[in-house]
Structures are given as C-alpha cells and as structure tokens.
Amino acid sequence: MEGLEQWKIQAEQWSQQALQYIHQIPPNQLYAALAVLLFPIIFIFFVRLFKRTKSNTIILSGLSGSGKTVLFYQLRDGSSHQGTVTSMEPNEGTFVLHSEETKNGKKKPIHLVDVPGHSRLRPKLEEFLPQAAGVIFVVDALEFLPNCRAASEYLYDLLTNASVVKKKIPVLLLCNKTDKVTAHTKEFIRKQLEKEIDKLRASRSAISAADISSDFTLGVPGEAFSFTQCPNKVTVAEASGLTGEIFQVEQFIREHVKP
Ligand SMILES: Nc1nc2c(ncn2[C@@H]2O[C@H](COP(=O)(O)OP(=O)(O)OP(=O)(O)O)[C@@H](O)[C@H]2O)c(=O)[nH]1
Ligand SMILES: [Mg+2]
C-alpha cells in the first residue's frame, strides 16, 4: 500500500513539473511543436482515406458479340471456357489476374464487370460507371464495318456519360479478335469510329438543342472529332480473347488499378 501511495505522489510531482515546463515555453513555440507533431498524422490519415476510396473496378463494355465474356474468363482463369451464348446479365468478379497469380510481389485483386451488349441491358452500364477506375470498350475487329454505326452510338453514350466526363474515367478502345488475319487494324478502327462519332455529334447536338438536354457534348465545335479532344484519356489497343493475347488489356488494368 505504501509503495502505491508513494507512486501517486511521485506521479503528481512529475505532472506538475511537466505543466510548469510547458508554461515556460512561449505559446508560439508550443503551437509550432504541436503543428509539427500533428501534420504528419493528418497527412497520413488523408493519404489512407484517399487510397481506400480509390476504386479497383474495371468495366468491360461494347456491342453484343464483341467478345467481352471470353475476355472476362481469359483474364480470370487464363482460358476461354465460355460458349457462344449471349450474356443475359452482368458478370462480376473480384480476383487476382490469372497472369499474376504465380508471380511474386504485390498483387491487388481487381473487380471486373462484364456488362452485356444487348440494348435492353445497357442501362446497367450507367449503374457501374460511377465506381469505375477504367472502362474497356471492346470492338469486334473482324465484323467491324457492319457494326461501326452501332458501336459508335454506344461509344458516344459512354463518352458523354456524366461520370465518365466528370471523373475523367480512362477508356480503352480494344480491337478484339486480332487472331484472324482479316481483322481490321486499330488505326483503321480508331479513324472510322472518329468519323462516325463526328457525324453523330452533328445530329445529336441538333436534337439536344431542341430538347434542352443536359448531356455533355463531345469534342471541339468546328473541328473534326478526334479522341484526343476528350477530357478523359482514350487509348486504342489490340487483343484476342480467344487465344489469350491480352497483354495490352492487362497493362491497361494495372495502369489504373495499382497493386
Ligand atoms: N476469332 C475470335 N473470336 C472470338 C474472340 N473473342 C470472342 N470470340 C467469339 O465471339 C463470340 C462472342 O463472344 P462473347 O464473349 O460471348 O461476346 P460478348 O461480348 O460477351 O457478347 P454479349 O454477352 O452478347 O454482350 C463467340 O462466338 C466467341 O467465340 C477472339 O478473340 N477471336
Ligand atoms: Mg457476354
């Protein structure tokens, strides 16, 4: 008991000494010391907060038949075990990329969403866009010309989506099915899409002027449309989901979902 009492007295003395010492310090110095102590703590807190809110969601979009579901399984399992059925609902998964599973080092799982291209299911895309770290717009490079108009319309909607514009969500135009020699090149596809969007822009802005639509407009008025005019980054790449040549897809994912 005595020992405890002594300890109490000692502790009180110490705290009084500490208080006296603090009172001796000029307030300015005290505040400065506090700031120096608090700043790193607040800084680390914000860095962590920012990191946590950073999304790991990548969206696969594009017309029906462009090869999104095959790509999904290729990225997840390294094989294309999916038949030729049209997807009737979004396909979602959180996983480590198959190509990274055997690698050492940091691996961060990605959340991949395959949104079916069927026009009735496209509104689903808008639900996923606000949380997207990147969007892969898959284009069938084999059957490109007959689908050019439809693909451009879908892409136009994507590029004028409020989340995509405001959050500057990066978009990868993926020319798929390049395993076939008759596939069109990515330069050709990019140019054709730009031309088609240029035409759409004229017709759509005429409609929205009458309807007072609040949709975002694309490109620079009076100039031919080019993807470089978009506020978000739009890049082109080639792949073959079927044969697993998906390096450029994985590169895009890793660029926007950091391990
Ligand atoms: N040659 C070739 N064919 C492919 C490739 N990727 C997909 N296909 C074929 O294209 C067809 C459609 O592929 P899916 O992955 O089901 O297409 P999707 O984009 O998911 O279509 P929806 O679910 O309807 O939106 C299938 O018959 C695939 O075998 C590819 O890289 N090369
Ligand atoms: Mg599908």
Longest dimension (CA), the chain: 95
Nearest to 144 by CA among 99, 94, 180: 180
Convert the pLDDT of each residue in 70-90 to its tens digit: 999 999 999 887 666 888 899
For the ranges 164-168, 203-207, 244-248, the lowest mean pLDDT is seen at 203-207
Residue nearest to atom 13 of ligand 1 (CA): 67
Ligand 1 centre and the CA of 37: distance in Å? Answer: 57
Give the contacts of 102 (CB within 8 A, at least 6 positions apart). none
User: What is the pLDDT at residue 82?
Assistant: 64
User: What is the pLDDT at residue 212?
Assistant: 47
Q: How confident is the model at residue 214 (pLDDT cuts 50, 70, 90)?
A: very low
- Give, in words, the CATH class of 54-256: alpha beta
User: What is the pLDDT at residue 50?
Assistant: 67
Cα dist. 26→30, 35, 78, 182 in Å?
6, 14, 66, 80
Ligand nearest to the CA of 60: 1
Binding site membership of 117 for ligand 1 (Cβ less than 6 Å) = yes
CA dihedral 124→130→132→137, nearest 10 degrees, is 50
From CA 259, how far away is CA 254, in angstroms rounded? 7
Domain with CATH 3.40.50.300 in the chain: 54-256
Q: What are phi and psi of 89, to 5 degrees?
A: -150, 160
Convert the pLDDT of each residue in 223-254 to its tens digit: 999 999 999 999 999 999 999 999 999 999 99
Convert the pLDDT of each residue in 110-135 to its tens digit: 999 999 999 888 889 999 999 999 99
Q: How confident is the model at residue 258 (pLDDT cuts 50, 70, 90)?
A: confident
From CA 240, how far away is CA 71, in angstroms rounded? 8
Ligand 1 centre and the CA of 66: distance in Å? Answer: 5
Look up residue 87 and give its DSSP letter: P
